[in-house]
Structure 1
C-alpha cells in the first residue's frame, strides 16, 4: 500500500535592495548614516568625515584612508567607524524563512595580519527591538560569522529568567576556515527562520554555520554596511585607532522570503 504525505506549498518572494545613489543625492534615501541617541540628548553618528563614497550602478564602495572615530566610554559606539543603515525594515515571516544575499569585498591597510578585530568590513542584520545581530565580518585574510544579542543604546533589556542557563548578552565570532585575500569577492547569505528559531550562514553557496534556539524572535531588521573595529576599551580609553585604512564594497542585496504552508 502506497502512502502519500501532505504536500507543502512554498511561496517565495524575491526582490533586490540597493538604492546606493540616494546616499549621495539624499532624495528618497534607501540608506542613512547609522548611530544612536545619547543620554545627554545628542546623537552619535557612525560617520568618518573623510570617507570617500563611490557609487557605480548598483555597487557601493566606501574608502577611509585612515580611520579616526573612537569612543572612550561605550564599546558599541567605538566599534563602528562608518556605517549606513537601510531606511527600510525587513519583516520576517511567521512561517518559512527569510534570506539576505549579497556580494562584498574588503581591503584593509595597516591592520595586523590575521587580526580580524583590528579592522574589517561588515554586513549586519540588526533588530533594535531585541538587540539581535546577525553579521559577516571580513578583513584581508579572515572571514567570520557573528551571532549576537547586544545592549544597543535605547533598546529595552531582554527578559532574563532567574533560572537562565545562557547569557543575556553575547557575541559569538566564528572565524571560518576559508581562505581569502585583500579585495577578493565572495557571496554571502544569512537565512533566518522565526518558527524554528534558527539562523544559518553561507559563503559562496557553502554552509558556514547554524545556530538553533535563537533566544529572541526577530520580527524585523535593518541592514547595516560597516567599516569597523572590535577592540575592547582599556582603562577608559579606546585603543581601536592606530592609522588603519578600510575599504568596503557591497553589491545589491537579494531578499528572499519563503513561506511554507501545509
Structure 2
C-alpha cells in the first residue's frame, strides 16, 4: 500500500502561486513563450481546478511545442527522484471537447504532466471526450538536439478503458528508478510502459493543461480549427519510496 501525500487539495478557491505557475518557455535570451490562452476561464471549486477554453486563439508558425501548448500550469516544486525505488504521481482528470473531433487527439486534449524541464522528457496522461492515451515525449529544450526529440502517443484498446465527456478517471505515472522504467496507468490498468531508459530524470515537476498536436506545415500552424477544450483535475497526489 502506497502512502500518498497530497500536493494540492484546491481548497482555497483559486490557484495557489506558491504551488503552481503558468508555464513559460524561453524563445531566446530576451523573450519567453507563455502557455496561456486569452479566452481561458480558470476556476477552482470543491477541490477541483477547471480550465475551459471555448475556442483556441494562440498559435506559433515555426516552433511545434509553442504551437501545441495552449494553457498549462506546472508545479513550483521539483520532486527529486531516488536513485532506487518507485515514485508515483496521480490525479483524477476529466475532459470535454468543444467542437473539433473528439476521436482525433490532435485537435485537443487535457493532460496530466510529469516533466523534466531540464532534459525535455515528458510523461503525460492524456484524455479527450472519447479517448485515453499515454504520451511520451522529448522536447527540443536547451542541450537537446532536434535529432533526439520525439513525440509518441499510445492507446491501449484491449485493456477495457472507455470514457465520456466530463467523466473522471484516475491516472498514475509510475517511475521505477531502479530499472529506469516508466509506466502509465488509468483506473489501475496499465496503458503503456517504457523500460530501461537511457536518459532518466533526476527530478520532475507535475502539471496540468490543455494542448493540441497538429503538426506545423510549411511554416503555418494548423492547431486552430474553431475548436476548444475543457479539462478538470483533482486529487493531485504523490508517493516516493
The normalised TM-score by structure 1 is 0.85
- Say whether 1:180 aligns with 2:163: yes
1:40 deviates by: 5.2
> Using a 3 Å threshold, how does the CA distance of structure 1 residues 236 and 106 change in structure 2: closer, same or farther?
same
| CA contact 2:23–2:72 (8 Å) conserved in 1 | yes
**Which of the numbers 189, 200, 205 marks the counterpart of 2:183?**
200
Find 2:43's aligned residue among 54, 58, 66: 54
Distance, in Å, in 1 between the alignment partners of 2:112 and 2:104 is: 18
Give secondary structure in 1 for the equivalent of 2:204.
Answer: strand
Higher-Rg structure is: 1
Alpha-carbon distance in structure 2 between the residues aligned to 1:121 and 1:38 = 24
C-alpha deviations, 1:228-255, integer Å up to 9, x for none?
Answer: 1000001101010011121100002110
Query: Aligned match of 2:203 in 220, 229, 234?
Result: 220
- Equivalent residue, structure 2, for 1:18: 8
Instruction: Check whether the contact 2:15–2:44 (CA below 8 A) recurs between aligned residues.
Output: no
Q: How far off is 1:37 after superposition? A: 1.3
Question: Over the residues paired in the alignment, what is the CA RMSD in angstroms?
Answer: 2.1
Shift, 1:181, TM fit: 1.2
Structure 2 equivalent of residue 143 of structure 1:
132
2:4/2:237 contact within 8 Å kept = yes
Q: How far apart are residue 90 of structure 1 and its match?
A: 0.9
User: Structure 1 unaligned runs (5+)?
Assistant: 1-9, 161-166
Structure 2 unmatched ranges of 5 or more: none
For 1:3, the equivalent position in structure 2 comes to: none
Q: Which of 35, 45, 67 is the equivalent residue of 2:56? A: 67
Does the 8 Å CA contact 1:23/1:30 hold for their aligned counterparts?
no
CA contact (8 A) 1:119 1:227 kept: yes
Distance 1:39 1:142, change over 3 A: same
Q: Distance in 1 between matches of 2:15 and 2:52?
A: 18
CA contact (8 A) 1:19 1:31 kept: no
Partner residue of 1:112 out of 89, 92, 101? 101
Secondary structure in structure 1 of the residue aligned to 2:67: helix
Q: Which SS does the other structure have where 1:190 is aligned?
A: strand
1:231 aligns with 2:211: no
1:35/1:44 contact within 8 Å kept: yes
Alpha-carbon offset, residue 14 of structure 1: 2.9
SS in 1 for 2:106: helix
Q: What's the TM-score once normalised by structure 2's chain length? A: 0.92
Aligned residue pairs total 238
Give the Å deviation of 1:58.
Answer: 2.2
- Indicate how the Cα distance of structure 1 residues 250 and 235 shifts in structure 2: closer, same or farther if over 3 A, else same: same
C-alpha contact (below 8 Å) 1:107/1:248 kept by paired residues: yes
